[in-house]
Structure 1
């Protein structure tokens, strides 16, 4: 396989494994517990209740191992044919059980998963704090983070779980701009590459009317922004 062919095969597998882990986290959340802890002002307790632990990303680690092994095997296949001093052909082989390869893979997967879980917890804590700070009630704040349950699929959709801390900050800033009523700030929405352009007319109409985007319209715009950034997050990995 060429390097591009390897990417085409294993990039989707890694992204899918990441999305699987995020869905597992969302489906395991007991909203009542998160809300109760937010009502007590226990933001850290609310984050803990979401159980974002390294073990949930085991499928991602397996997908990473598969990609690593395929890359090594492919690299060995590209090595030149050589002969030893006795005239015998040197046979090149690659295996993830090689001590050096094992150490590299272990460090790579551990670093990736640790970074993902730590960043997730920091980002979610930030989102909860900002939600409460802008006056949203604990239940609404929790739903903005964990996502709302679809009546069609029964699965949680939207929310910020899976996004990086910087993506969460970026989306919260977009919310503040749209809710500001300031035309200059609201116009920055059109600079966002991950926006859903179907909402452009809604935002433009609000700017022309000199009003902020609020309520259900704002919730839908921010929800789509979160969804598209989650897809981007999978591609980034």
Structure 2
């Protein structure tokens, strides 16, 4: 009989696979949003100072994020199937993870729906605020529109460098970088050179402008800003993957063992769950302290030194805040051990 895969190794592989694929699905959704913008209608609406018409030209709706929703469902199913593959053969022969189980379906439906609703509404609110601010400042319609949706890259034919898809703090960072690159003083350019996510290929041109005391060429400024914005967008995709995709896999692992209990194959108190920290020097101090923490059954939560509680790493259903959940890379191992007599 083939050896059962190590749970730790298998779920590390699933985390790597779906961490990348969920991030890519997010990028696909943002590309779709930028492609669907009716740029001429947007420009006309901005010229007329008609904010509602401008938003209609953006066509932001939850359907754009369907690839991301589908990938989360796929990750959840793979997590459940992976959990079964690591269960002892004595209790799992003939047992299959059922993603259509009423409870399982509700878990992934709620997980995906909450994320997609938040992303969609966030894009609507931030785009509306950005356009309204541009109108209030009297900025040119074209610069406002292109700063929002991006400019077409000659290399790819896609719009890049806009702020669609970025988080609020990232949008603020892009606007600050824009002011630094387009300003006439050296201090702004020097400040830009401290940005960790900048594309360093433009540093030489920026340093030259600083030495000569001249304004940075607009083409270089635009290109540097597009690259900076794209790097922040990639980071946003990675954060979403770690914060939403990986917890979906962990939730499925948990659900698979619950289905095993429901099937009468093991007693719930025979199950031991443990917290496994990613020990690479980048883990949270609180999670580092939790490494190896074990609890019995499927309902008892893990507890952080901060007091936050989790059903599994990255879980926020028990009230754990973003300081404990965002980009969490820890894992939960689940084993079947009969209680001692």
Q: For this structure pair, what is the TM-score category when the shorter chain's length is used for normalisation?
A: 0.7 to 0.9
CA distance in 1, matches of 2:218, 2:165: 24
- What RMSD, in angstroms, separates the aligned Cα atoms of the two structures? 2.4
TM-score norm. by structure 1 comes to 0.86
Structure (1 or 2) with the greater helix fraction: 1
Q: By how many angstroms is 1:38 displaced? A: 0.9
Number of matched residues?
A: 232
Structure (1 or 2) with the greater strand fraction: 2
TM-score norm. by structure 2 comes to 0.61
Distance 1:151 1:198, change over 3 A: closer
CA distance in 2, matches of 1:128, 1:214: 26
Q: Is the 8 A contact 2:49 2:135 kept in 1?
A: no
Specify every segment of 5 or more residues in structure 2 that has no aligned partner in the other structure, as ranges: 1-8, 241-341
Distance 1:110 1:228, change over 3 A: same
Q: By how many angstroms is 1:171 displaced? A: 0.5
Counterparts of 1:64-213 in structure 2, within 5 Å, are 64-80=72-88, 92-132=95-135, 136-151=139-154, 153-213=156-216
Counterparts of 1:50-61 in structure 2, within 5 Å, are 50-61=58-69
Deviates most, 218-227 or 61-70? 218-227
DSSP 3-state at the match of 1:222: helix
Question: What residue in structure 2 maps to residue 8 of structure 1?
Answer: 16
Question: What residue in structure 1 maps to residue 26 of structure 2?
Answer: 18
Runs of 4+ aligned structure 1 residues displaced above 6 Å come to none
Deviates most, 61-70 or 90-99? 90-99
Specify every segment of 5 or more residues in structure 1 that has no aligned partner in the other structure, as ranges: 84-88
